[in-house]
Structure 1
């Protein structure tokens, strides 16, 4: 029997995880943490916000989920929603930095629970230049 191969670790060396506080985004964070533990992936968590009033709450949620299992980088990106969108800003980050994948919730904090995939997730799934994993 041969030694185990970690070929997938080369696909997931550097992962971006957008977190908006929704349960789907936190489950996506759980998956990224698992990749970090299993394959040594470098995880960058990003919170894109307009007013950024809930940053402390988001940081608390992240710390509880990560629970010192891996080292991670947290980026808070304030954006003027009238001039851009969360998906545009995430696409800009993906184009400026060498990420291998983005792991994100399929839908975020939108009020309409009838939709299966949110506008941000859909925009990233279609336009991101890297592997996109949507978590439900």
Structure 2
């Protein structure tokens, strides 16, 4: 039992960026599992862009009646980027971990890890779990 308690302490507050990609929704599934097993509080973030309404509806349908969560829309201005907005949220929200997909909706299928995931992994102040 002690190991479960220790893990639950590491994963109290989890950020899950979603972009509508298959990997992003796999990351969300892992976060749901953590919430059920360890009582993690999930905050789902999406950076505004094309498909925002579809992403919000998909998140709602995947999480409804499963776990409590918060959904936040972030906005990247002309002087910012998607990774920067996610990193700002990570710093401001004092999260224990971030769970995200290895690559998003980019056209190049040959990439193992996308630029957003790479930027988050390199610059995050907390634990990063990358889901493929």
Partner of 2:57: 60
CA distance in 2, matches of 1:78, 1:84: 9
**Aligned pairs (5 A) from 1:24-39:** 24-39=23-38
The SS at the match of 1:92 is helix
Match of 1:101 among 97, 101, 104: 97
Distance 2:50 2:76 in 1: 13
- The offset of 1:10, in angstroms, is 0.6
Give 1 or 2: higher helix fraction. Answer: 2
Q: Is the 8 A contact 2:24 2:101 kept in 1?
A: yes
User: Any stretches of 5+ residues in structure 1 without a counterpart?
Assistant: none
Moved more, 64-73 or 102-111: 64-73
Partner of 1:12: 11
Gaps of 5+ in 2: none
> Which shifted more, 104-113 or 61-70?
61-70
Q: How does 1:37-48 map to 2 (within 5 A)?
A: 37-48=36-47
1:74 equivalent in structure 2: 71
Cα distance in 2 for residues equivalent to 1:122 and 1:55: 22
Secondary structure, in 3 states, of the residue corresponding to 1:112? Answer: coil
Distance 1:55 1:115 in 2: 24
* SS of 1:46 mapped into structure 2: strand
TM normalised by structure 1 equals: 0.91
Q: TM-score of the superposition, structure 2-length normalised?
A: 0.94
> What is the CA–CA distance in structure 2 between the aligned matches of 1:115 and 1:17, rounded to whole Å?
21
Instruction: Let me know the Cα RMSD of the aligned residues.
Output: 1.2
The higher radius of gyration belongs to: 1
Q: Which residue of 2 aligns with 1:120?
A: 116
CA distance in 2, matches of 1:79, 1:112: 23
Q: Which of structure 1's runs of 4+ aligned residues deviate more than 3 A?
A: none
